[in-house]
Structure 1
């Protein structure tokens, strides 16, 4: 069997595809990549959430197997994806993509678009353009997967349910409720690949049940409080395994009102609470040693690309900075001491710059911000341990003017 749907889809989003789209939309390639990843994952999640509805899978399968979505369609899209951003919707592939989106999201289209725009840091209009571009890509990859593996509609449904855990990490918190609820994903997941398990792959049962349990827990905690289940130190995805303990150490969430009237829901011991306390206390002067560590940012492994789950904290910090318009800050990026020192400095600098760009996209005046990468300088943990290295991989903020 060919590689997974998610791997094939995300593998298409290379520089040759992202560059022209970024130029067309006037956004960075990182922003475009996050938008296409989030939009694609949202569509796949939407398919899983509705796969059990009578007639839905057949309707989707007819779009996937439409002759316009043949073998040459995908290569044509990747070489000229930017054309879809200009509104060229008269092509057969673009029309299929539009029908595909409408079938999945229906009346929730506007809400889904807004949610993706907020998580990525772009306007709803640009988020809509990214969705319009992602739709035919998803269709193309699904069509390729169906052809290569000779799948029926039912086979495709089982495959999508089995792959659900692999695309959950690309989704912004709270988006599941707009597509039928994360509980639908969990219940569908438990039904994935039953026939194959029965024929000898009995080891799959623990994997399937564990994935379903994790999705149920993810839905429950996002339902009852502000989304923090993705809270990790700004490091590789490997550091996410230690994120749950770090999140619990942040304390309970509470609502607080900023000087401009904006209300935030933040953890008691998170960066937002500490920053608000510092800015509101006239007895605490600006210095060069009081740094505030972000505690709910996540980057792609070895890259500067922010994961969508980071957007909640970025929006909170942006709101705080806008409520204190005279404040200027410096963002520092840090790594552990593994690997090449020069590469670590470059990576930490790129990550700090992307955090700064995200704050600007959220409405903060760029003249108030600066960023720098420090590599493995100024460790806060013991680099001889994994826990210490995870602590050292971070983004921190220094207030330079109050």
Structure 2
């Protein structure tokens, strides 16, 4: 499996940096986290699409000597070195990217531009350090960047797309961008129509009683015309209708679809297409206002908060006889994720949804919950169970610090026990199994 550059960078963009950047730029921490979440894949994508650009490769090689990683907040101010690199990557689309992220994250354009400098410095600095540590030359760096093209599509957060980022032509370098593709129909050979058509004839032998044999006389209909004038076209029409019906039946059961992320054309049945479509719709979620008894929470319509509040309002929790009636209904966190291999460091943007959970518990003090942690099937299962359990316990302890500890009855790690994606699948595909969840309990 190729290295995911994002994993190199996340350690540089932790919660401490988010807090400092929010204070420095005068923005909310949630806005800063959201902006970083959108900028990071855009910058990685831009570098990957410029993997053969000498100026980009040189910037990565010289990043360690520039001391980039030691001064990320300093890069948030106008920095000539970073600005030159960004111009090489995005060209005249730079301002469009800044504006799009500002709108998406709810921050000012100036803050968006500053964060773009910071994220670019963190990305280039991390890749440069990795290259230096592993003795990669320009060819090795180029290869590393190229490997990212297959995973960048899965890194864009919900509510963002290449089109919404206004990144323009450079996105064509990704095989998952089909916005400008055209389906070319192969030329067909025109069917020539004969200018004249001799009427087919049939020889009919009459009985001696009818007057003998008449080899040149066609059978006639009651109106005096040849029977083949209408019978032959009718047969051809029936045959054509049958052929068309069979083709339509075939198209209803098979269809060619393009897997956007991997640019792979494949044939799938109708049920699979419906599942893929439902998955795509689910992925394209956008934050909305979720009503909590008059208090507005930011979350996905149909997401964790929305579903938990709906369940509580319905009275289903109050009417549940015991824990057995609740144990099978889990609610997956949409945003709460831990840094790779860590049970104590959350990724940027995770705290907001935990705060939403606190608000729900305070609004319904009679409600009790349990936290669950899950991993994919990769690695030692005993270690996975331990890690997922520690992560669940971390969230339980965090909630206790917010004053709702009495409502959290337990925390448990299940490792890869309930993972559905095979260990041989790609990292992006297995991500669905790496999650934190919550359920009601009694």
| Superposition TM-score, scaled by structure 2 size | 0.47
Mark the CA change 1:173 to 1:265 in structure 2 (over 3 Å): closer, same or farther. Answer: closer
Distance 2:119 2:61 in 1: 17
Aligned twin of 1:211: 262
Maintained 8 Å contact 1:334/1:394: yes
Distance 2:357 2:34 in 1: 24
Maintained 8 Å contact 1:330/1:397: yes
Maintained 8 Å contact 2:373/2:389: yes
Maintained 8 Å contact 2:369/2:441: yes
Aligned twin of 2:73: 85
Aligned twin of 2:294: 260
Aligned twin of 2:63: 73
Distance 2:371 2:300 in 1: 25
The structure 1 residue matched to 2:8, chosen from 7, 11, 16, is 11
Aligned twin of 1:375: 413
Distance 1:301 1:351 in 2: 15
1:173 counterpart = 2:155 = no
Q: Decide which moves more: 139-148 or 161-170.
A: 139-148
Listed as ranges, the matches of 1:2-401 within 5 Å are 7=4, 10-11=7-8, 13-14=10-11, 21=17, 24-25=20-21, 39-45=39-45, 61=53, 64=56, 69=59, 71-77=61-67, 79-80=69-70, 83-86=71-74, 89=77, 91-96=79-84, 99=87, 103=91, 104-113=93-102, 115=104, 117=105, 130-139=115-124, 141=127, 148-149=138-139, 163-176=148-161, 177-180=163-166, 185=171, 188-189=174-175, 211-213=262-264, 225=281, 227=283, 259-260=293-294, 266-267=301-302, 271-272=304-305, 274-282=307-315, 284-285=317-318, 288=323, 290-291=326-327, 292-295=329-332, 297=334, 303=342, 322=359, 325-328=362-365, 330-335=369-374, 339=380, 341=382, 344-351=385-392, 353=394, 366-368=402-404, 373-376=411-414, 395-399=436-440
Secondary structure, aligned partner of 1:333:
strand
Structure 1 vs Structure 2 CA RMSD: 6.3
Report how far residue 280 of structure 1 moved.
Answer: 0.8
Report how far residue 64 of structure 1 moved.
Answer: 2.6
Report how far residue 134 of structure 1 moved.
Answer: 1.8
Unpaired runs of at least 5, structure 1: 52-56, 193-206, 230-253
Report how far residue 293 of structure 1 moved.
Answer: 1.4
Distance 2:307 2:259 in 1: 40
If each structure's helix is expressed as a fraction of its own residues, which one has the higher value? 1
Distance 2:317 2:6 in 1: 50
Distance 2:33 2:289 in 1: 33
Mark the CA change 1:211 to 1:114 in structure 2 (over 3 Å): closer, same or farther. Answer: same
Unpaired runs of at least 5, structure 2: 24-30, 179-257, 266-272, 424-430
Secondary structure, aligned partner of 2:73:
helix
| Superposition TM-score, scaled by structure 1 size | 0.51
Mark the CA change 1:23 to 1:12 in structure 2 (over 3 Å): closer, same or farther. Answer: same
Distance 1:224 1:210 in 2: 11
Bigger Rg over Cα:
2
Mark the CA change 1:327 to 1:170 in structure 2 (over 3 Å): closer, same or farther. Answer: same
Distance 2:264 2:356 in 1: 34
Distance 2:168 2:358 in 1: 33
